[in-house]
């Protein structure tokens, strides 16, 4: 009798919406590599242990051409070619070429230089909130800080943020069909095409990431095409605010539900933010890879052409790595985690995200110590059907 494959575990326990699907606890213990069926209509090997996921994400025989949880999109076309400049989906030298051009823009030193600007935004947003006694924290704070920062970094007019916010949300939700996602991408690409054309004309006279990228590529003797520049800008713009905004909203919700942890945030923001990243893991459906040749992953034979999913939310709750992993402990001694992925495709913007989280969270709880939820946790509007987990809104008061 043929065994029916279980569905990819995508639900969250009602008792704690911060936890990944409860089945991962059993899988890590009993079936660390198991076959599942995915909404896309493919079967994939689900890898659930921390060490195995790290090994998987560093294996060059596993392609990232469909890296962004496409297994969750029922109508995604896996046969379509990777778009030029799609750094998260390219492999080998094609990926390395783009990463080499960008890596110098995201060093700790460059990101630290943005700290005063991020602090200014956080203070200005809180000043505006304190004009009243309540706020919608996602709209008024969590989304604004990373959006303003990535616009400043790229040289994108912040006045146009509402348009790219709408389009990026369509790209992230499972509730939009292929046509809606394609239309959102075309709208965003069309808008950014004008921006890129302007930078191509005036790159030497401007000091923003996009202009420096154009100049650096040209001076290397391997200039970027228009398509590559547009795709890179779309990727940086979407990734630069969606994930951090979601992390900010969820982090505030976590702290308000665990008020005893706020002291640990104040005492050591670095350790606290790493724990929040581990505990929340907003890339909730994992990272998809395709085997380019026959490989063995954690003892499981995987044939060329088969798919694997690194369940990073499960890896970040691995009992063999973290003591009491389902408890948020902001004073937990820092250990590396998988929230930013691992290996060649590890998130370029991780240093920026860390600074934004530390500045925003410490400033918020310092300046509004009486902050509290305006409605119970059970009424929170979670982004359960999005590739990036978070809350749509977070009403607070003080």
Residue-wise pLDDT for 219-232, tens only, equals 999 999 999 999 99
Pairing relation of β-strands 381-382 and 307-310?
unpaired
Distance (Å, whole) CA 152 – CA 55: 36
Of 179, 186, 187, the residue nearest 77 (C-alpha): 179
Res. 2: pLDDT tops 60: no
Beta-strand runs (E) in the chain: 33-37, 43-47, 62-63, 134-136, 287-291, 295-297, 300-302, 307-310, 372-373, 381-382, 391-393, 395-397
What confidence score (pLDDT) does residue 205 get?
Answer: 67
Measured on CA atoms in the order 384, 18, 106, 55, is the torsion positive or negative? negative
Rg over alpha carbons for the chain, rounded to the nearest Å, is 21
* Residue whose pair of structure tokens reads 């970040």 in the numeric block: 316
Q: With bands split at pLDDT 50, 70 and 90, how would you rate the model's confidence at 67?
A: low
pLDDT beyond 80 at 155: yes
pLDDT attached to residue 85: 94
Give the range among 27-36, 61-70, 125-134, 364-373 with minimum mean pLDDT: 61-70
Average per-residue pLDDT for the chain = 93
Residues 6+ apart with CB under 8 A from 304: 291, 292, 293, 294
First-to-final CA distance of the chain = 60
Report the 10 Å Cβ neighbour count for 192.
Answer: 22
Fold of 23-397: Cytochrome p450 (1.10.630)
Q: Say if residue 206's pLDDT is above 90.
A: no
pTM, two decimals, is 0.95
What pLDDT does 3 receive? Answer: 54
The CA–CA distances, whole Å, from 84 to 65, 131, 167, 208, 239 equal 12, 47, 20, 22, 17
DSSP class of residue 208 equals S
Listed residue (310, 319, 238, 316) closest to 277, CA to CA: 316
- Is pLDDT at 203 greater than 70 in this prediction? no
Distance in angstroms (rounded) separating the CA atoms of residues 266 and 347:
26
b vs e for 229-249, b when ≥16 Cβ sit within 10 Å of the residue's Cβ?
A: bbbbbbbbbbbbbbbbbbbbb
pLDDT at 1 over 60: no
Over 60: is that where the pLDDT of 276 sits? yes
| C-alpha closest to that of 339 among 125, 56, 54 | 54
CB atoms within 10 A of CB 132: 10
Mean pLDDT on 245-262: 97
């Amino acid at each position: 009798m043929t065994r029916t494959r279980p569905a990819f575990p995508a639900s969250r326990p009602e008792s704690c919406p911060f936890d990944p699907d409860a089945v991962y606890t059993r899988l890590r213990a009993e079936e660390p590599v198991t076959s599942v069926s995915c909404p896309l209509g493919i079967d994939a090997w689900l890898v659930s242990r921390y060490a195995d996921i790290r090994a998987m994400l560093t294996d060059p025989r596993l392609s990232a051409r469909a890296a962004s949880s496409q297994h969750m999109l029922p109508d995604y076309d896996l046969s379509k070619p990777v778009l030029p400049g799609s750094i998260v989906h390219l492999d080998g030298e094609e990926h390395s070429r783009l990463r080499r051009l960008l890596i110098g823009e995201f060093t700790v030193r460059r990101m630290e230089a943005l700290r005063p600007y991020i602090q200014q935004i956080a203070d200005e947003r809180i000043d505006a909130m304190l004009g009243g006694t309540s706020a919608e924290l996602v709209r008024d704070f969590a989304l604004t800080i990373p959006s303003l920062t990535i616009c400043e970094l790229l040289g994108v007019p912040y006045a146009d943020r509402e348009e790219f916010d709408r389009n990026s949300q369509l790209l992230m939700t499972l509730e939009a069909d292929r046509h809606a996602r394609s239309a959102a991408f075309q709208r965003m690409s069309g808008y950014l095409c004008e921006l890129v054309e302007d930078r191509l004309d005036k790159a030497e006279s401007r000091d923003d990431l996009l202009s420096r990228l154009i100049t650096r590529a040209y001076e290397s003797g391997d200039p970027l095409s228009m398509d590559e520049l547009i795709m890179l800008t779309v990727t940086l713009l979407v990734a630069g605010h969606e994930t951090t905004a979601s992390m900010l909203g969820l982090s505030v919700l976590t702290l308000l539900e665990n008020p005893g942890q706020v002291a640990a945030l104040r005492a050591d923001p670095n350790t606290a933010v790493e724990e929040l990243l581990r505990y929340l893991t907003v890339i909730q459906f994992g990272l998809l890879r395709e085997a380019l040749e026959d490989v063995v992953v954690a003892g499981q034979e995987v044939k060329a052409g088969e798919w694997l999913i690194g369940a990073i939310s499960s890896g970040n709750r691995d009992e063999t790595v973290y003591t009491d992993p389902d408890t948020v402990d902001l004073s937990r001694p820092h250990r590396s985690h998988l929230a930013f992925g691992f290996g060649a495709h590890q998130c370029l913007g991780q240093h920026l995200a860390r600074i934004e989280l530390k500045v925003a969270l410490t400033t918020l709880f310092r300046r509004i110590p009486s902050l509290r939820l305006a409605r119970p946790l059970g009424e929170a509007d979670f982004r359960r059907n999005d590739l990036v987990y978070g809350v749509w809104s977070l009403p607070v008061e003080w």
